[in-house]
């Protein structure tokens, strides 16, 4: 583990194109240990690409992304290590359909981290308890509600003991009554000191849990501010326009 004075996640002048499209345009972002960042912005602004680049599901054209002082590895063992350090929860829950909830959570620790099965199961049960679905451990994903599956997906990421958690619109596929149960888990994670980068339009979560809101449009970070400041006093026209649209819905 690198002991460095720099923030846990650092993006320096990161650029990425998809063909002609400049999807990440000179992104500079630093996230300190324990900090919770909410990323918002219009559709197509590059939010998912940003998350995927931090987890190296996407390559970048130039610039640098460092986690805990280490440049993102290109491939192989080091990349698997990075994936363990950087947990990711997507809009779709991506659980393994033919494995039980418990197996979904223990798989990574057993296969990647070589944790003994019994120990992995004990830790998994504790995590399932924490996200409120321990009583579902022996069911299959399809037997759970969307909100329960998403909480399992969070537990599965946490089982790898990540240094930072990325969430890409984790509640946007959920029925309204299930959104809060997932946001509540995320809010308690934030309050427990997890470093988090969260793409969401849930203002309540941003207000309650985020240290900073990062507003993206056209592949750029247009502005960043504390949530209250951003929501009540956005600076750029893009942000004002965006907020007027989402706040009236
Ligand atoms: N694999 C790809 N190939 C080509 N273009 C892509 C690819 N992935 C994303 N894009 C384009 O890059 C831009 C940014 O996409 P991205 O998914 O990062 O936006 P987003 O901010 O997450 O949007 P949304 O709010 O709709 O999820 C979009 O114009 C998208 O069409
Ligand atoms: Mg997206």
Q: Write out the DSSP string of 28-81.
A: EEEE-TT-EEEEE--TTSSHHHHHHHHTTSS--SEEEEEETTEEPP-SHHHHHH
78 touches ligand 1 (CB under 6 Å): no
Helix axes 146-158, 117-130, angle to 10 degrees: 130
Residue 110: what are its φ and ψ, rounded to 5°?
A: -70, -50
Q: Tell me the C-alpha distance between 196 and 249, whole Å.
A: 26
Q: Which atom of ligand 1 is nearest to the CA of 199?
A: 22
Per-residue pLDDT at 81: 76
The protein residue whose alpha carbon is closest to atom 29 in ligand 1 is: 44
d(CA 217, CA 214): 10
Compute the distance from residue 228 Cα to the ligand 1 centre, in Å.
28
Q: What is the pLDDT of residue 248?
A: 67
Which residue, chain included where needed, has tokens 């890409």?
168
9, containing H or E segment = strand 9-18
Q: What is the structure's pLDDT at 246? A: 83
Q: For 96, which DSSP code? A: -
CB 44 near ligand 1, within 6 Å: yes
Ligand 1 midpoint to CA 49 (Å) = 6
Site of tokens 């197509």: 44
The protein residue with its alpha carbon nearest to ligand 1, atom 13, reads: 44
Q: Does any ligand 1 atom lie closer than 6 A to the CB of residue 43?
A: yes
Q: How far is the CA of 220 from the centre of ligand 1 (A)?
A: 13
* Per-position pLDDT tens, the chain of length 249: 555 578 999 999 999 999 999 999 999 999 999 999 999 999 999 999 999 999 999 999 999 999 999 888 877 777 877 878 999 999 988 899 999 999 999 999 999 899 999 999 999 999 999 999 999 999 999 999 999 999 999 999 999 999 999 999 999 999 988 999 999 999 999 999 999 999 999 999 999 999 999 999 999 999 999 999 999 999 999 999 999 988 765
| Lookup: tokens for 128 | 């399932």
Task: Give the position of tokens 């944790």.
Answer: 115
What's the burial of 223, exposed, middle or buried (CB within 10 Å: 0-12/13-18/19+)? middle
């Amino acid at each position: 583990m690198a002991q460095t004075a720099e923030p846990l996640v650092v993006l320096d002048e990161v650029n990425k194109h998809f063909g002609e499209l400049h999807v990440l345009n000179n992104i500079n972002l630093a996230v300190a240990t324990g900090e919770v960042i909410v990323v918002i912005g219009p559709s197509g602004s590059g939010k998912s690409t940003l998350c995927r680049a931090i987890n190296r599901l996407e390559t970048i054209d130039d610039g640098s992304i460092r986690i805990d002082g280490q440049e993102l590895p290109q491939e192989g063992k080091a990349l698997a290590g990075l994936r363990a350090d950087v947990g990711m929860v997507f809009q779709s829950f991506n659980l393994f359909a033919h494995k039980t909830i418990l197996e979904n959570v223990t798989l990574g620790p057993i296969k990647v981290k070589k944790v003994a099965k019994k120990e992995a199961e004990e830790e998994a049960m504790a995590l399932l308890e924490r996200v409120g679905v321990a009583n579902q451990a022996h069911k299959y994903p399809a037997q759970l509600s969307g909100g329960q599956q998403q909480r399992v997906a969070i537990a599965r990421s946490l089982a790898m003991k990540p240094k930072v958690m990325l969430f890409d619109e984790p509640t946007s596929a959920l029925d309204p009554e299930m959104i809060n149960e997932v946001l509540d888990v995320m809010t308690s994670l934030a309050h427990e000191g997890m470093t988090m980068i969260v793409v969401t339009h849930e203002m309540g979560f941003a207000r309650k849990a985020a240290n900073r809101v990062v507003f993206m449009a056209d592949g750029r970070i247009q502005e960043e501010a504390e949530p209250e400041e951003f929501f009540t006093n956005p600076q750029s026209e893009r942000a004002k326009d965006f907020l007027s649209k989402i706040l009236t819905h």
